[in-house]
């Protein structure tokens, strides 16, 4: 059967195999090629457990999902069109993700008795047959054997030959989605520049896979996803933690300060440390401290010394930082704290995503210790948020918290990146020796104090965590003064909202009907859901909240324009509470705490349900 060609607006492919099967690399290559062919896309890798489990087992399955299209793509896809399964564990654990009638490309050499056993499946079961019975389209290929065959003349060891099988898969999927393997060939040439045998083998196998697709008449259809209508500009594919790191470096550059980053490894924030440690050439100091408390306090020390100071962690580490964060509030020094949220409470689900640290970000400190809280909507958005957070921290002399999450951190999407000259300069209120007398807690019209950096003659001063006298900063136990300072700190933070643009809905109806309020990584699923329903004539709009504190001053007006409000969150209703108390509207929550993002279908159902209920 020769495959017909079918144009698709969007497609979702999931590569799944053993941790040792190179699925992340395969997915990454497919992503790069897809991006270069002009699709919009969104990806998400999924490594279920933290420790490498024995090969072939379900805990050892590593997955990489890519959703791409000729229209805008906002999520890594709800349901999978094509599942590539390298072994029985991958197939059995991922099959449920397939859409009805979806396509399975199975490595039949990975489905033998041994593999079934490792996957914890009764050896008598016919996994592939079962898949077909469930109505999936099955393409079974002896990927392992064909790889070995393609390499029979290669001098590589059997183990190394076996390792190349992911390239066979990639070539095959390239063919299926009408992509050429050249870009990956170039990549392999570079990657294995010094290892001729491996290089040649991989390229050979890649091509073999592609040819196999062409010749073997395996597929009913071949798909083509035409380029998306993307705004002109330069693009790159980027992960959230990467975008965030680059945003920090850029902000340092734009403020003329050195970036000091202090962190302690923790999933899923560690990559920020890795990224910045690698970037020493950009003048970054990346410090792996002995714990999270040392990290944030080292950062505060560096901030006192005049650096742009940043620390990142995930929930448990942020918990440890809260005491010192209060100190930063009291000192009124710039500091950026990133929380890449993961499943909680406690150690929870360290490799899974969640949005359940919002309450901690907003209220998790002793005393009245307000600070701006921003959230990233998607991987590329992390760049903008990081930049803005630094800007706020430096220009308002305050610690700022960024909320990202595991989904954003490890997910990727194409980013139309700016040139550095387009970005604004950041202007921290630095006190210079020639500015004359220095009064540490004297405030300007924005309520911001001046930053006198050690080395500045005549501005020597002492600050600390005790309440301080207004203006002078001397220790003060005075009652009225305490009230005044509490209010001044609060108002300073509230004035940050003056810098926001006017609030607008992201998509859908501009007034009337139901408003869905999203924050953080729920952006994509909500956007997809609202656009789909709105296109079908349903009165629903999306408002995406980036600034969780202070809330935009015109948000109340926007909210009033609607009759119903839905707040989907990957927690038990944390933003919900804030919105209800602030605007006294009977908003409802859609809450999911399963370590995975919303499917847009879930959001759609909730919207429709709410609207119907009202009718």
Ligand X SMILES: Cc1ncc(C[n+]2csc(CCOP(=O)(O)OP(=O)(O)O)c2C)c(N)n1
List of residues contacting ligand X (CB under 6 A): 264-266, 292, 316-317, 320, 347
**Residues 49-108 close enough to bind ligand SF4 by CB under 6 A:** 51-52
The position carrying tokens 């952006």 is 523
How far apart are CB 590 and ligand SF4 at their closest, in Å?
Answer: 38
* Residue 603: burial class (beta carbons within 10 Å; 0-12, 13-18, 19+): buried
* Binding-site member from 48, 301, 418, 552 for its own copies (CB under 8 A): 48
Residue among 447, 427, 409, 390 nearest 247 (CA): 390
| Alpha-carbon span 611 to 615, nearest angstrom | 7
β-strands 80-85, 61-69 pairing: unpaired
For residues 445-474, which are near its own copies according to CB under 8 A?
Answer: 464-467
Residue 290 interacts, among other proteins, its own copies, ligand X, none and using kind-specific CB cut-offs from 5 to 8 Å, with other proteins
Neighbour tally for 504: CB within 10 Å: 12
52 binding partner (options ligand X, its own copies, ligand SF4, none; Cβ < 5 to 8 Å by kind): ligand SF4
CB of 52 to ligand SF4, least distance (A): 6
> Pick from ligand SF4, ligand X, its own copies, none: which does 89 bind, CB < 5 to 8 A by kind?
none
294 membership: H or E segment, kind and range: helix 292-304
Token readout for 246 is 């680059």
Q: Among other proteins, its own copies, ligand SF4, none, what binds residue 66 when CB lies within 5 to 8 Å by partner kind?
A: none
Nearest-10 Cα torsion for 577, 583, 587, 593: -30
Q: Verify binding: residue 594, its own copies, rule CB under 8 A.
A: yes
Residue of 173, 338, 179 lying closest to 271 (CA atoms) = 338
Among 158, 477, 501, 613, binds its own copies (CB under 8 A): 477
Using CB under 8 A as the binding rule, the residues of this chain from 96 to 115 that contact its own copies are none
- Residue among 127, 157, 161, 125 nearest 145 (CA): 161
- Residue 58 or 470 with smaller CB distance to ligand SF4: 58
Asked if 486 is part of the footprint of its own copies (rule: CB under 8 A), the reply reads yes
Minimum distance between the CB of residue 154 and other proteins, rounded to whole angstroms?
A: 26
Q: Is residue 363 near its own copies by the rule CB under 8 A?
A: yes
Question: Please, which residues have CB within 8 angstroms of residue 389's CB and are 6 or more apart in sequence?
Answer: 251, 336, 372, 374, 400, 402
415 strand-pairing partners: 236
Identify whether the C-beta of residue 357 lies closer than 8 Å to the C-beta of residue 315: yes
Q: Which of 38, 59, 120, 301 binds its own copies (CB under 8 A)?
A: 59
Kindly tell me which of 329 and 408 has the beta carbon lying closer to other proteins: 329
Subset of 280-309 contacting its own copies (CB under 8 A): 293
The residue (of 266 and 325) whose beta carbon lies closer to ligand X is 266
Nearer to ligand SF4, 52 or 278 (CB): 52
Give the number of residues in contact with its own copies, rule: CB under 8 A: 69
- Using CA atoms of 423, 429, 431, 437 in order, give the dihedral in degrees to the nearest 10: 150
Q: Which does 51 bind (CB under 5 to 8 A by kind): its own copies, ligand SF4, ligand X, none?
A: ligand SF4
462 binds, among ligand SF4, other proteins, ligand X, none (CB under 5 to 8 A by kind): other proteins
What CA–CA distance (Å, rounded) separates 460 from 466?
18
Q: Are 17 and 170 in contact (CB under 8 A)?
A: no
Question: Does residue 366 interact with its own copies by CB under 8 A?
Answer: yes
CB of 457 to its own copies, least distance (A): 28
Residue among 567, 506, 512 at smallest CA distance from 539: 512
What, of ligand X, its own copies, other proteins, none, does residue 574 touch, CB below 5 to 8 Å by kind? its own copies
Work out whether strand 80-85 and strand 98-107 pair parallel, antiparallel, or are unpaired: parallel
Residue 478 Cβ, how far from ligand SF4 at the closest point, in Å? 22
469: phi then psi, degrees, rounded to nearest 5 = -65, 140
The yes or no reply on residue 193 touching ligand SF4 (CB under 6 A) is no
User: Which pair of tokens denotes residue 291?
Assistant: 């714990």
Q: Looking at beta carbons only, is 156 or 349 nearer to its own copies? A: 349
Residue 274 binding: pick among ligand X, ligand SF4, other proteins, none (C-beta 5-8 Å cut-off by kind): other proteins
Q: In what order do the strands lie in the sheet with 373-375?
A: 285-288, 259-263, 308-313, 335-341, 399-405, 373-375, 547-549
**265, interface contact from its own copies, ligand X, ligand SF4, none, CB < 5-8 Å by kind:** ligand X
**Shortest Å, Cβ 65 to ligand SF4:** 25
- C-alpha to C-alpha distance for 403 and 457, rounded to whole angstroms: 38
Nearer to other proteins, 193 or 584 (CB): 193
Nearer residue to its own copies within complex by CB, 1 or 584: 584
Name the DSSP class of 79: S
Q: Among 3, 36, 49, 294, which residue interacts with its own copies (rule: CB under 8 A)?
A: 49
Q: Which residue is nearest to ligand SF4 (CB)?
A: 51
| Minimum gap (Å) between residue 368 Cβ and its own copies | 5
Asked if residue 221 binds its own copies (CB under 8 A), the reply is: no
Rounded to an integer, what distance in angstroms lies between the CA atom of residue 423 and that of residue 201?
A: 45
Q: State the burial class of residue 49 (Cβ atoms within 10 Å of its Cβ: 0-12, 13-18, 19+).
A: middle
Is the distance from CB of 104 to CB of 173 less than 8 angstroms?
Answer: no
Paired residues of 549 in beta bridges: 373
CA dist., res. 239 & res. 410, Å (int): 6
Per CB under 6 A, residues contacting ligand SF4 are 51-52
Per CB under 8 A, residues contacting its own copies are 48-49, 59, 293, 314-320, 322-323, 326-327, 329-330, 341, 343-352, 354, 356-357, 359-360, 362-369, 464-467, 477, 479-480, 482-483, 486, 490, 571-572, 574, 576-578, 580-582, 584-586, 592-596
């Amino acid at each position: 059967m020769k495959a017909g060609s079918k144009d698709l607006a969007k497609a979702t492919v999931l590569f799944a195999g053993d941790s040792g099967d190179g699925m992340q690399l395969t997915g990454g290559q497919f992503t790069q090629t897809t991006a270069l062919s002009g699709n919009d896309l969104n990806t998400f890798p999924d490594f279920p457990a933290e420790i490498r489990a024995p090969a072939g087992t379900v805990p050892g399955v590593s997955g990489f999902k890519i959703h791409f299209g000729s229209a805008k793509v906002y999520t890594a896809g709800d349901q999978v069109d094509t599942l590539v399964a390298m072994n029985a564990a991958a197939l059995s654990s991922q099959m449920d993700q397939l859409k009805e009638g979806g396509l399975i490309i199975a490595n039949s050499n990975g489905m033998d008795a041994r593999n079934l056993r490792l996957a914890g499946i009764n050896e008598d079961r016919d996994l592939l047959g079962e898949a077909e019975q469930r109505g999936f389209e099955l393409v079974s290929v002896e990927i392992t054997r064909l790889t070995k065959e393609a390499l029979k003349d290669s001098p590589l060891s059997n183990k190394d030959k076996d390792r190349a099988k992911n390239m066979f898969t990639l070539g095959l999927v390239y063919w299926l989605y009408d992509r050429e393997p050249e870009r990956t060939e170039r990549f392999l040439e570079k990657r294995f520049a010094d290892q001729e045998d491996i290089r040649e083998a991989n390229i050979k196998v890649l091509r073999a896979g592609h040819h196999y697709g062409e010749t073997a008449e395996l597929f009913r259809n071949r798909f083509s996803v035409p380029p998306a209508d993307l705004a002109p500009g330069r693009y790159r594919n980027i992960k959230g933690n990467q975008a965030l790191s680059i945003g920090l470096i850029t902000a340092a550059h734009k403020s003329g300060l050195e970036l000091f980053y202090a962190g302690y490894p923790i999933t899923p924030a560690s990559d920020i440390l890795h990224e910045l440690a690698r970037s020493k050439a950009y003048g970054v100091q990346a410090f792996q401290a002995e714990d999270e408390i040392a990290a944030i306090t080292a950062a505060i020390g560096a901030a006192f010394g005049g650096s742009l100071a940043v620390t990142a962690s995930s929930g448990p580490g942020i918990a440890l930082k809260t005491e010192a964060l209060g100190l930063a509030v009291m000192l009124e020094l710039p500091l950026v704290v990133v929380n890449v949220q993961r499943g909680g409470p406690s150690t929870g689900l360290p490799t899974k995503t969640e949005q359940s640290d919002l309450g901690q970000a907003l209220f998790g400190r002793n005393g009245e210790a307000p600070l701006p809280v921003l959230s990233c909507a998607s991987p590329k958005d992390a760049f903008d948020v990081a930049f803005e957070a630094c800007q706020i921290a430096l220009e308002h002399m305050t610690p700022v918290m960024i909320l990202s999450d595991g989904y954003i951190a490890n997910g990727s999407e194409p980013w139309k990146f700016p040139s550095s000259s387009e970005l604004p300069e950041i202007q921290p209120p630095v006190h210079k020796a020639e500015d004359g007398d220095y009064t540490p807690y004297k405030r300007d019209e924005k309520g911001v104090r001046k930053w006198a950096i050690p080395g500045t003659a005549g501005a020597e001063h002492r600050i600390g965590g005790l309440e301080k006298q207004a203006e002078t900063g001397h220790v003060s136990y005075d009652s009225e003064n305490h009230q005044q300072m509490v209010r001044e700190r609060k108002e300073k933070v509230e004035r940050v909202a003056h810098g926001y643009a006017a609030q607008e809905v992201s998509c859908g109806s501009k007034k009337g009907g139901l408003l869905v309020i999203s924050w953080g990584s729920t952006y994509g699923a909500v956007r997809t859901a609202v656009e789909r329903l709105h296109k079908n004539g349903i009165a629903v709009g999306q408002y995406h909240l980036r600034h969780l504190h202070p809330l935009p001053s015109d948000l109340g007006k926007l909210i009033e324009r609607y009759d119903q409000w839905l707040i989907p969150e990957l927690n038990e209703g944390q933003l919900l509470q804030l919105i209800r108390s602030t605007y006294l509207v009977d908003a409802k929550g859609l809450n999911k705490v399963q370590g995975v993002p919303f499917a847009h279908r879930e959001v759609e159902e909730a919207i429709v349900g709410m609207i119907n209920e009202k009718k």
